[in-house]
Chains A and B, each alone.
Chain A
């Protein structure tokens, strides 16, 4: 076991003041130090895995809160804390306060940054005023604010080093995702797929905040940063202007494909990976064509933004299955792959060098909108999902209520990130278990106004009462290994550790620890409010800690607050409503757990 130098934030910043490209080396090195949690995704591969094992299956039943911190904000708390040296950093939902807490003094506030933003950005955020975390690099803390300001703060003092505006809220563009530091750049996506926003990933210079490149999800090649000959899809060149060719007229200009999820990075291949969201509108009949490149896995060169390969998972989306979920990098024997649990209910294993899909299997058996993904290279439908006409909102048409589609628009999993354990070689999926009726209808577009065009009704699958699952998945064979039912969707990010534990939070507010091999629940604690944040772990002064934000909200706070009913089971199903509001109320708290001293 290598010894790691515990660097204070000050020491790190001083050592690396020169040479921006070394921000990368620093982050790679720091992400290998299990004592710290240096980026929202844990490491560049998005594994959410820690080598710490002081807390393990033998002793976790003794885990208890050791200190807490109220954030002062009562909205949905997605994201989670970073720990760099002896300082913990995290941010809150709107107004997007950034806190730096001193771990040497029970979380005393070292500095606090509170931006002033126009509250009119709030109603343009479709699904609560969330943020998915801050990022660290080159001695700075980066926050992507609701109003699309990307700000760089001195990690020691909180002073603004630079600030840049990435988008325009008056056109429905907002910021909810965590920035991602790669080499000498800070990457941010953009939100607003329900407002006709054309999605993009943008890279800013880490030292100056100057815009270096922007790759759009649709448009001509100069916008999408694609090479007609060299960028490939399913092994073939994408051809000229592939980002407009499958759209009618100018619809690509309000095409959606937003980028509000997670990014991963392979330093050896020098590629970043992320997914694009739903095409705009939700009415498929109003936007004929495959709508490339919405619903797509992207592999881009982080220096130039050029796309190396793409894979579109849900061509001509009819159900709002955004493709933005995390791309977890793993090795399958010697093959370099990425594993992606898509909203559409399929778990993909994709060769991350070439973009070839190797496995695509349902990670929830109730998924019914497609029978399978065609992985036969000789087939005319190679790479495409085979859609069940019965659940096709396009086939059934506008003003027709297509019923019983599984999964619902929120997907078999939404942005809440899964974890991977190299010890068990299993992936741990925080999942939803909800179906829907979906009725598209014609809508008109006005900049800054919702551009949706569908009526939805969501409910648990027929015969089931659970609306969530926590699932262990074998990505090589594409199989569920074990699955724990949860009353509500599991909306938190998971954490796997070398102590053979997996942690996740529930919407009622429980933080739970389960055995990574069997799924047996070993410990739980009820925090003050529903958990939609991502669990982190770190070590300080020789002791391991688990940290998580509580604060119900996000989409779950909208759709599940008053409960879901299956109206096809009869309107009189009184008492069948499992309402989240019966279990939790608003909150905003960080809770830190550890084992009692002497263990």
Chain B
């Protein structure tokens, strides 16, 4: 995770909620334009996926597949396809951008009434999610662009040292 200060976290969440209440800016083209230590960024500087011609995915897409299926799929369904009560994130990520996504994961979301109450929990304190939030975003983005299909990606780039270092630092940090 590259967001290190609580201040930046709050600012992002605020930006996300402001963005939600006004018409949110859609995500940019997901094409990777920059490679920063095995992490790919789009033209806005938001994390994105990179899939080679032979199907090899970047580390974060692969890692995101694993983390999504550990932390998110029990509501949002396998392969980001949705369930009877939580939306298919492969479709949601076509509309919402990185800041909005981040804000919802950190702060949660409630849709009550109409015979069903849907509640997304606030996961800002959950290290098993927050230390891999970019991984999850990148995987979901790849699913939304149909750049990866269902199932575990078969080939992936090696885990970059920067990813290991960030993971270590994040998990060990006391909240």
Contact = CB atoms under 8 A, between A and B. Distances in A.
A567 interface: yes
A381 interface: no
Interface string B109-146: 01010111111110101111000000000000000000
A562 B115 contact: no
Contacts of B66: 439, 441, 455
B84 A553 contact: yes
Nearest to A585: B84
A119 B77 contact: no
Nearest to B127: A444
Which residue, A122, A128, A588, has most C-beta atoms of chain B within 10 A? A122
Nearest to B90: A562
Is the interface on chain B under 10, 10 to 19, 20 to 34, or 35 or more residues? 35 or more
A261 interface: no
B150 A571 contact: yes
Is the interface on chain A under 10, 10 to 19, 20 to 34, or 35 or more residues? 35 or more
B74 A126 contact: yes
B81 interface: yes
B78 interface: yes
Nearest to A529: B84
A441 B132 CA distance: 13
A318 interface: no
B128 A450 contact: yes
Contacts of B108: 123
9 contacts: A123-B120, A126-B74, A194-B74, A439-B66, A443-B70, A455-B65, A455-B67, A457-B151, A558-B74
Interface string A174-200: 000000000000000000001000000
Contacts, number: 119
Given A122-B117, A441-B66, A553-B84, A562 B154 contact: no
Contacts of A444: 127-128, 171
B83 interface: yes
A530 to B, nearest CB: 8
B69 A455 contact: yes
Interface string B142-159: 000000011110100000
A383 interface: no
B75 interface: yes
Interface stretch (A72-80, A297-305, A354-362, A424-432): A72-80
A56 B150 CA distance: 46
A452 interface: yes
Contacts of A194: 74
Contacts of A20: none
A571 B151 contact: yes
A567 B85 CA distance: 25
Specify the main secondary structure of chain B where it touches its partner. Answer: loop
Interface of B: 65-67, 69-71, 73-75, 77-79, 81-86, 88, 108, 110, 112, 114-121, 123, 125-128, 149-152, 154, 171
A106 to B, nearest CB: 22
Contacts of B125: 446, 449
B85 to A, nearest CB: 6
Nearest to B112: A119
Interface in A563-599: 563-565, 567, 571-572, 577, 581, 586, 588
A379 interface: no
B152 A123 contact: no
A453 B85 contact: no
Contact of B75 (A454, A552, A558, A567): A558
A124 B121 contact: yes
Contacts of B81: 561-563
B119 A123 contact: yes
Interface in A126-162: 126-129
Nearest to B149: A571
Contacts of A441: 66, 70
Give me the 7 closest cross-chain CB pairs, A-B, nearest first.
Answer: A562-B81, A567-B151, A557-B84, A123-B121, A122-B119, A74-B115, A558-B83
Contacts of B119: 119-120, 122-123
Contacts of B115: 72-74, 588
A63 interface: no
Contact of B117 (A94, A127, A453, A563): A94
A562 B78 contact: yes
Nearest to A124: B121
B82 to A, nearest CB: 6
A75 B86 CA distance: 11
A120 B149 CA distance: 33
A562 B83 CA distance: 7
B133 to A, nearest CB: 14
